[in-house]
Each structure stands twice: as structure tokens, then as C-alpha cells.
């Protein structure tokens, strides 16, 4: 009897020890972020900076106690901007326990979105993908935190209106764009605003990859628009600058989409680029507190996740903006709902974000169940020959117009 009781006591102790070990293992389970990126083809001008920013932020977070005590794991894979490979990456990472994804490619994001919606997994879609996905009542699992291309274009028009004395009725605005989905995205909003404000909209499509712009700028020379809004990428800006000089168009009337970085300025020439404008969704430069922290903590000691040159690029700041917001959502989710973190609690965490700007890194965002974009604020900056100088505060304009288009588009979405 004594022996039996002893065996039973040992069994209970073993069970309790196993239970404690399992609980401890679960407590140490990482929060996994899946980065299925194009690291080798079309988007390789931005993806290394964003991935490096995410890895640096995770390293810093983990060294400072994790997110509510839980470590962060950044899993980076290459999809080569091929939708099928992106979907395969999604399925593979799903089997590995990932439920938070970012694809940083409009074609791949659009291919994976229906699966994420059907599975109830979180799709981070900042600065790429469907413009109507900010409608949280339709796209419940998609979080395109930050301004969509629609809202950014609307904010650009508002800036031009301010520059022209608050009246666009006699204005002519050109739109030069890569003639594929990325470039075509703002056209509907621009046409709507042209009708509303009475300005003349001229469209100048450019074939991929943007190296042949001579025909477009010859037409711009003849049309003489007051401003040209540009939806070009990477080397396309350097080509545009040469064509502007050749055709006598002032560079300070060229307003770029947010995809203009330090590499583009160097390719144009720092002095030659003086006066160029860009709409932006993050603060550039290294004076931002979190960027300074990364430089001082890791790069000064040779411990960063990649080359220091990539930290001195606005796309690194953009990566920090995306992932500080994601980490904040996870923090709020665990605070409010406890552990384990689930897709449902992560969703509620995102929707609890209020007036978050990562200490001056970006425009303040407030995410709600209705608005998964966070408000759509941008600002206009101008290159002064050495730095980007903000010309406006963070703001979002024509919100009613943009949301009318959003609702009209999202109403047509269905998950097969």
C-alpha cells in the first residue's frame, strides 16, 4: 500500500512537472511574422530595407523583454513577385504556425488575400495592394495601415490646390504613371476630383519599366500643366528628371508618389534634384528617435541585421513604421486578451490602435473596425539639396470622396 502511494505521488509530481514545462514552453512561444517578399526581382529596390528594419526591431524588442514577455520571430522568404510562389509561401508558413503575413507586392498580396480572408489570418497590407481593403467591414482580416494610393493622390491634389490659392478651376494637372496596375491605381480618384474641383486632368502613361518617357514629356511640354503628379518607381525618377531638363519643365512642380528614396536622389544628383516634391507617409532621415536608437545600439557596434547604408534610406523608416504598428497591435492584443495570441485577438489589437506614431516616425494612426487604414494622412516634403524639408503637416483631405470610391469598390468583393 505504501509502495503504491509512493508511485502515485511520483506520478502526480511528474505530471505537474510536465504541465509546468508545457506552460513554460507555451509562454516562450514566439510571435511569428511571415515576410514573404520579392527579394530578387521587381521590388528588390525596397524589400531589403523593410526586411532589415523588421529584423532590427525584433532584435531590439527581444533584448528588451519581447512583446509582453513573448519573443518575436521574423521569417523572411522570397516569392520573386510571382503570385503563385507567394501563395505557396503563405501555405508553407501557415503549416509552421504563422498567421500574420506581409507580401509587400500588389500582385502577390491580391493573390493571397482571398485565402487569408477565408482562413481568418492577418494580412498586413501597408502601402501596397487593394485600395478598398481599408474598409474593415468588408476586409475584416486585412490591415493596410497607412495611406492608400487613393488617399495619397487626393492629398496631393489638396496640396496643389493650396499652392494655387485654393482654387483649381483654371488649373491643369498632369499625371505621369507606369502603365500597369500600380500606376493606374489613382486615376479614378483623380478623375473624380477633377470633376469636383473643375481642373483639367491630363494622363501620361509610360511603358514598363519607365526608361522610355520621351513621348510623355514631349506632350507635357505642349500641354504645359501647372503640376505633374508622378506614379513612377526607382530609375523612372532619374529618367523623368532628364526629360524635365530637356523639355523645360520645372522640377519643383514634379510631385512624386512616396516611392522616391535616397538612391533616386543620388541618381538624379543632389543639386539637380533640388526643389523636387514627394508625398510621404513616414518621416525620413536618421534624426527620428527609433532610427537613432538602431544606429546607436547596433550599427555603431557592427551588430545590425544588414548594411548600415540601408538604414540611411527612407524605406528602412517605412519598414519600421509597418512593424512598430504590428508590434503595437500584438502588445494591445495580449494586454486585452491574454496569451496565446490568436488571429482574432491580433485583429482586435489592430483595431484598438489609437493615435500611434511610433514617437514621431510617421503620421498618427487610429485604426477602427470600420477603417483599417488608420486615417490616410500624408505630408508633402521638398528636397533642398541636402535634406527633405516638410512643407505641410500630416493631413488627409477629400476623405468623403475617397471613401465613396472605397465603398463602391469594396461592395463588389466576395471570397470565392
Per-residue confidence (pLDDT) for residue 9, from 0 to 100: 40
- Predicted pLDDT at 399: 96
Give the bridge partners for 321, in sequence order. Answer: none
User: Which three cell numbers, joined as nine digits, stand for 57?
Assistant: 526591431
Tell me what pLDDT residue 130 has: 87
Q: What is the CATH number of domain 26-144+286-365?
A: 3.40.50.2300
Q: Looking at residue 12, what is its pLDDT?
A: 37
Instruction: Collapse the DSSP code of 140 into the 3-class scheme (helix H, G, I; strand E, B; otherwise coil) and give the result.
Output: coil
pLDDT of res. 27: 64
Phi, psi of 371 (to 5 degrees): -115, 105
Whether the CB-CB separation of 75 and 55 falls below 8 Å is answered with no
The C-alpha cell at 150 is: 487613393
pLDDT along the chain (416 residues), means of 10: 44 40 59 97 93 98 97 97 96 97 93 96 92 95 95 97 97 96 91 97 95 97 98 95 97 96 95 96 92 97 96 96 98 97 98 97 96 96 94 96 94 86
Q: Which residue spans of the chain are classified as CATH 3.40.50.2300?
A: 26-144+286-365, 150-280
How far is residue 113 from each of residues 77, 190, 221, 370, 409, measured CA to CA in Å?
A: 18, 26, 41, 18, 15
Give residue 415's pLDDT: 80
Q: Which CATH number fits domain 150-280: 3.40.50.2300, 3.30.1230.10, 3.40.50.1580, 3.40.50.300?
A: 3.40.50.2300
Cell of 121: 489570418
pLDDT of residue 128: 86
**Spatial distance between the Cα atoms of 120 and 411, rounded to a whole number of angstroms:** 19
At 127 the pLDDT is 87
Amino acid at each position: 500500500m505504501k509502495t503504491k502511494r509512493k508511485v502515485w505521488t511520483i506520478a502526480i509530481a511528474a505530471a505537474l512537472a510536465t504541465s509546468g514545462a508545457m506552460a513554460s514552453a507555451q509562454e516562450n512561444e514566439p510571435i511569428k511574422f511571415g515576410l514573404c517578399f520579392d527579394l530578387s526581382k521587381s521590388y528588390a529596390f525596397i524589400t531589403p530595407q523593410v526586411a532589415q528594419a523588421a529584423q532590427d526591431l525584433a532584435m531590439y524588442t527581444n533584448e528588451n523583454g519581447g512583446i509582453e514577455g513573448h519573443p518575436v520571430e521574423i521569417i523572411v522568404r522570397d516569392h520573386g513577385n510571382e503570385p503563385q510562389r507567394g501563395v505557396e509561401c503563405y501555405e508553407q508558413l501557415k503549416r509552421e504556425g504563422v498567421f500574420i503575413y506581409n507580401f509587400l507586392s500588389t500582385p502577390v498580396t491580391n493573390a493571397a488575400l482571398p485565402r487569408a480572408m477565408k482562413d481568418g489570418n492577418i494580412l498586413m497590407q501597408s502601402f501596397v495592394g487593394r485600395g478598398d481593403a481599408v474598409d474593415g467591414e468588408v476586409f475584416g482580416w486585412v490591415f493596410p495601415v497607412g495611406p492608400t494610393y487613393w488617399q495619397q493622390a487626393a492629398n496631393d491634389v489638396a496640396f496643389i490646390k493650396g499652392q494655387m490659392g485654393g482654387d483649381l478651376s483654371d488649373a491643369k494637372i498632369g499625371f505621369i504613371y507606369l502603365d500597369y496596375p500600380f500606376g493606374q491605381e489613382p486615376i479614378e480618384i483623380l478623375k473624380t476630383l477633377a470633376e469636383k474641383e473643375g481642373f483639367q486632368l491630363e494622363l501620361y502613361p509610360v511603358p514598363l519599366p519607365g526608361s522610355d518617357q520621351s513621348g510623355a514629356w514631349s506632350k507635357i511640354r505642349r500641354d504645359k500643366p501647372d503640376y505633374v503628379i508622378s506614379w513612377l518607381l526607382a530609375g523612372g525618377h532619374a529618367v523623368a528628371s532628364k526629360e524635365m531638363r530637356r523639355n523645360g519643365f520645372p522640377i519643383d512642380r514634379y510631385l512624386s508618389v512616396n516611392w522616391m528614396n535616397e538612391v533616386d536622389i543620388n541618381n538624379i544628383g543632389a543639386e539637380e534634384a533640388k526643389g523636387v516634391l514627394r508625398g510621404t507617409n513616414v518621416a525620413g532621415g536618421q534624426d527620428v528617435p527609433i532610427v537613432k536608437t538602431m544606429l546607436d545600439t547596433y550599427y555603431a557596434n557592427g551588430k545590425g541585421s544588414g548594411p548600415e547604408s540601408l538604414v540611411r534610406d527612407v524605406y528602412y523608416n517605412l519598414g519600421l513604421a509597418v512593424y512598430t504598428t504590428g508590434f503595437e497591435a500584438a502588445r494591445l492584443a495580449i494586454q486585452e486578451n491574454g496569451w496565446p495570441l490568436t488571429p482574432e485577438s491580433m485583429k482586435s489589437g489592430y483595431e484598438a490602435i489609437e493615435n500611434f506614431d511610433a514617437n514621431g516616425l510617421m503620421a498618427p494612426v487610429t485604426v477602427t473596425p470600420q477603417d483599417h487604414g488608420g486615417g490616410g494622412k500624408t505630408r508633402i516634403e521638398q528636397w533642398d539639396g541636402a535634406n527633405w524639408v516638410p512643407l505641410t503637416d500630416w493631413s488627409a483631405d477629400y476623405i468623403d470622396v475617397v471613401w465613396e470610391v472605397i465603398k463602391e469598390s469594396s461592395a463588389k468583393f466576395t471570397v470565392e
